[in-house]
């Protein structure tokens, strides 16, 4: 299993001068961490901009720097090299690109002002666009893989469901923190243990990228609701799964405050789609 990735994720010096921020380097690190954790090989794309303009270059849009008659010929050669490699190795799991790049953007690219259009426009960069049949993720999306699984854990059925969901998430290349696996499964704890579990769970919430919440039943579990609210207040995405077909209102699956602070899905397939699982088929991530 391998991914194709923009080489600046591995070597930020390949980027145009002065555009790389510490937050970019942190994202690149997280992408590499995810691939290492799940034994996904990283295979770099060639860098069209470096080959065409050199490594020490000023930033610029496609129209400013790359809209030259000889540039498409370079892209043709590089595309042929990549497709030959894919023919040998098989289809990659996905492509990991860097948004705003004129060549390797995924959902946004600095193409340049054309008439009244803004310089930044939606869509893939001119090189990644040649591989539109392969699912692609921006580094920001691919780097979000640490999940806090918030769910009731008071019965064997609940704990079994939670563990099954956690294993499915891990199979889809997500790291999962599951509170029931840290000792949060008893009503006979000492007060010191209560404090320890609370601190540990809050620390895990802080370290997570996404909260997945199980909100089955007539009403959401109170602990799960607290974790959802905490995550929302911290600006973390919350995806709630509810396969229960009952509704609390004409426009609501569950409590309004929970539903408005989360994306509610009704199946595991929809959950993995909302999480942008790299294992799902499709051209875009």
The pTM for the full model equals 0.88
- Give the strand order in the sheet containing 95-97: 41-44, 2-5, 95-97, 136-138
Identify the CA nearest to 171 among candidates 40, 3, 9, 28: 40
- pLDDT value of position 101: 94
> Any residues with CB less than 8 A from the CB of 164 and at least 6 apart, and which?
none
- pLDDT value of position 261: 86
Q: What is the mean pLDDT of each run of 10 residues along the chain (285 residues)?
A: 96 92 96 97 96 92 93 97 96 95 94 84 94 95 97 88 95 95 68 86 96 86 92 96 72 74 91 92 59
- pLDDT value of position 153: 86
Q: Give me the residue label for tokens 């008439």.
A: 115
Per the DSSP assignment, residues forming a β-bridge with 122 are 108
CB distance 137 to 283 below 8 Å: no
- Measure the CA–CA gap between 96 and 34, rounded to whole angstroms: 12
Note the helical H segments in 57-155: 62-65, 71-89, 139-142
Q: Give me the residue label for tokens 């193409």.
A: 111
Among the four given CATH numbers 3.40.640.10, 3.30.360.10, 3.40.50.920, 3.40.50.450, the one describing domain 146-274: 3.40.50.450
- Measure the CA–CA gap between 22 and 100, rounded to whole angstroms: 16
Per the DSSP assignment, residues forming a β-bridge with 263 are 239
Residues 153, 259, 170, 274: what is their CA dihedral angle, to the nearest 10 degrees?
160
Identify the CA nearest to 100 among candidates 144, 61, 46: 61
Domain ranges, ordered by start, for the chain: 2-142, 146-274
The angle formed by the CA atoms of residues 270, 272 and 273, to the nearest 5 degrees, is 60
């Amino acid at each position: 299993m391998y991914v194709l990735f923009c080489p600046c994720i591995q070597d930020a010096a390949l980027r145009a001068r002065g555009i790389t921020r510490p937050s970019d380097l942190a994202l690149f690190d997280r992408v590499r961490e995810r691939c290492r954790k799940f034994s996904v090989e990283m295979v770099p794309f060639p860098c069209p901009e470096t080959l065409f303009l050199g490594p020490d270059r000023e930033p610029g849009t496609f129209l400013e720097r790359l809209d030259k008659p000889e540039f498409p010929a370079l892209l043709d050669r590089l595309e042929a090299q990549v497709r030959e490699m894919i023919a040998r190795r098989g289809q990659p799991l996905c492509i990991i690109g860097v948004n705003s790049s004129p060549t390797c953007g995924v959902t946004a690219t600095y193409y340049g002002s054309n008439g009244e259009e803004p310089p930044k426009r939606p869509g893939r960069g001119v090189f990644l666009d040649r591989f539109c049949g392969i699912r692609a993720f921006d580094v920001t999306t691919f780097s979000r893989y640490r999940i806090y699984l918030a769910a009731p854990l008071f019965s064997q059925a609940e704990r079994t469901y939670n563990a099954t969901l956690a294993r499915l998430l891990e199979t889809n290349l997500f790291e999962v923190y599951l509170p029931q696996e840290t000792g949060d499964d008893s009503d006979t704890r000492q007060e010191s243990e209560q404090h320890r579990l609370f601190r540990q769970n809050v620390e895990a919430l802080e370290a997570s990228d996404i909260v997945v919440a199980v909100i089955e039943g007539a009403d959401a579990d109170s602990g799960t609701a607290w974790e959802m609210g905490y995550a929302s207040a911290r600006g973390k995405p919350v995806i709630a799964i509810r396969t229960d077909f009952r509704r609390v209102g004409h426009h609501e699956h569950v409590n309004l405050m929970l539903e408005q602070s989360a994306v509610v899905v009704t199946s595991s397939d929809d959950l993995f789609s909302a999480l942008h699982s790299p294992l799902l088929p499709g051209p875009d991530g």
